[in-house]
Structure 1
Amino acid sequence: MTDYEQLISNLAQLKLNNFSENYQNYSTEVDQQRLSFGEALLKLTESELQYRRDQEIKKRIQQAKFPIVKRIDEFDFNFQPSINKQEILGLKSLSFLNNHQNILLVGSPGVGKTHLAIGLGLIACEHGFKTLFINCHDLLLALRTADSKGTLERQMKRYSNYELLIIDEIGYLPMKPDDANLLFQLVNNRYEQ
């Protein structure tokens, strides 16, 4: 096995896949004396770290279960002039998460509440917050099922572990008193944490 093959094997064992993919480019730069060895190594490690950050963000976004990727920057505030643009843009700081505050987006169907909620969720994922997007009907179905199986406490704990829980379409369908009670328990459980 050549030194190069051994290096690539070592990088694979260390799970430095991005490093391995970019090694040859930087090796050529060093060979042609455009970069010092130290500069090349610094660039390779920076590239690996950025790759890992990007992969973590992708994983958080995938785990959040967004129905579609929609960013706040893509939202057409001219289409919905009743929405306070500055207030929404202020939410991008995510201070509400650090302050443990709830955000309610209230309005008629079709005004863009889901788009804005997803956009905030994406920002939260990019900043390392564990996020889940779920439709209210699906959430209540999961809670009812857990309640009937005697696993409600575990399910409540699962939903309470998310730093950002986005519940879409609350009030879209009529809610039975038992469902309202389950939703209240979840909100109360999250509030206590």
Structure 2
Amino acid sequence: MIDADRLDELLTRLRLTAIRDQLDSLLDEASRAQMTLREALLFLAEREVARRDTRRIQMGMKLARFPCVRTLEGFDFDAQPSIDPGQIRDLSSGRWIGHGQALLLLGPPGVGKTHLAVALGREAVDRGYTVLFTSAAALMAGLTKAHADGRLEEKLLQLSKPKLLIIDELGYLPLEPAAAHLFFQLVSRRYERASMLITSNRPVGEWGQVFGDAVAATAILDRLLHHSQVITIRGDSYRLRDKRRSGLLQKAAAPTPITSES
């Protein structure tokens, strides 16, 4: 007779918790399928790995702090013909992350930059990469506070750990005077070690204005663009397009001229 408690103890020590928790049902399924011992062992191992992958992805999604759920399947490529779907599919493989490259998504508001950033981040989590998503405003506020509190080194170390750091909406809001130098330190820490994905409504030629320091902006771009891909999205805003379709936004009608009556 098999000592059930002993088996449970060994499965726990080996951290085979999926097999432990579903052992009876899994063995029944293997028996019904008349599996050989080798087939049954493979079946049990696959169930264990499947649960671990599920838990890993769930934890990765939680740690990434995505602001919303967006997928590549949900992106309307037909509405944005300036985007090459093949290039996005290639990016979803995560090879660029493994090589420590940067990715810049540039374009006006509403064209899908954040959607693509979140979707590519989720694909990265699926492939086992650690990801952190933050807005540019929140990132710079955190760096500025850490600098003021004497904890900048600690903050930079924390932001250096994720394999992919996604910074959304750079250029939408004015930055603090010291932002350029703090951002430069972050980029330098991650340069050729870990990847960054940045979305911005401003072309790189205007980043000197974004940071308020042309020299620092040049140094930042020198590192970001060294090993990078830049995708510029052209087209109408998704949100405004839908409003136009519904009739909520119309071109302003010419004012009716005021005439005097005799």
TM-score with structure 1 setting the length: 0.87
Q: Secondary structure at the match of 1:35?
A: coil
Comparing 36-45 with 67-76, greater Cα deviation is found at 36-45
Question: How big is the shift at 1:32?
Answer: 5.3
Shift, 1:5, TM fit: 5.0
Deviations 1:72-121 (A, max 9, x none): 12211122223232322221222322332211101111111011011111
Cα shift at 1:149: 0.8
Alignment of 1:26-105 (within 5 A): 26-29=26-29, 34-105=34-105
Inter-CA distance 28–152: structure 2 relative to 1 (3 Å threshold) = same
Which runs of structure 1 show a deviation greater than 6 angstroms over 4 or more consecutive aligned residues? none
In the aligned structure 2, how far is the partner of 1:33 from the partner of 1:161?
45
Pick closer, same or farther for the CA change 1:32–1:168 going to 2, 3 Å.
Answer: closer
Whichever structure has more helix as a proportion of its residues is: 1
Q: What secondary structure does 2:134 align onto?
A: strand
Q: Which protein shows a greater Rg?
A: 2
The corresponding residue for 2:150 is 150
Report the counterpart of residue 123 of structure 2 in structure 1: 123
The RMSD of aligned alpha carbons is 2.2
Q: Which amino acid aligns with 1:148?
A: A
Pair 103,35 (structure 1): closer, same or farther in 2 beyond 3 Å? same
The runs of 5 or more residues in structure 1 that have no matched partner are: none
Indicate conservation of the 8 Å contact 2:91/2:120, yes or no: yes
Alpha-carbon distance between aligned partners in 2 of 1:61 and 1:100, rounded to the nearest angstrom: 20
C-alpha contact (below 8 Å) 2:100/2:192 kept by paired residues: no
Aligned to 2:162: 162
User: For 1:30 and 1:83, how far apart are their aligned partners in 2?
Assistant: 48
How many residue pairs end up in the alignment? Answer: 192
Mapped contact 2:140–2:183 kept (Cα < 8 A): yes
CA contact (8 A) 1:30 1:37 kept: no
Structure 2, unaligned runs of 5 or more:
194-262
Give the fraction of aligned pairs with identical amino acids, expressed as a percent: 39
Which residue is equivalent to 1:132?
132
Structure-2 change in CA distance of 1:192 and 1:77 (3 Å): closer
SS of the residue 1:105 aligns to: strand
Q: Which has the higher contact order (CA 8 A, sep 6+)?
A: 2
Contact 1:57 1:125 (8 Å CA) reproduced: yes
With over 3 angstroms needed to count, the CA separation of the structure-2 counterparts of 1:31 and 1:118, relative to structure 1, is closer
1:144 shift after superposition = 0.8
Q: Do the aligned partners of 1:22 and 1:44 also contact (CA within 8 Å) in 2?
A: no
Higher share of residues assigned strand: 2
Deviation at 1:13, TM superposition (A): 5.2
2: distance between equivalents of 1:151 and 1:96?
Answer: 31
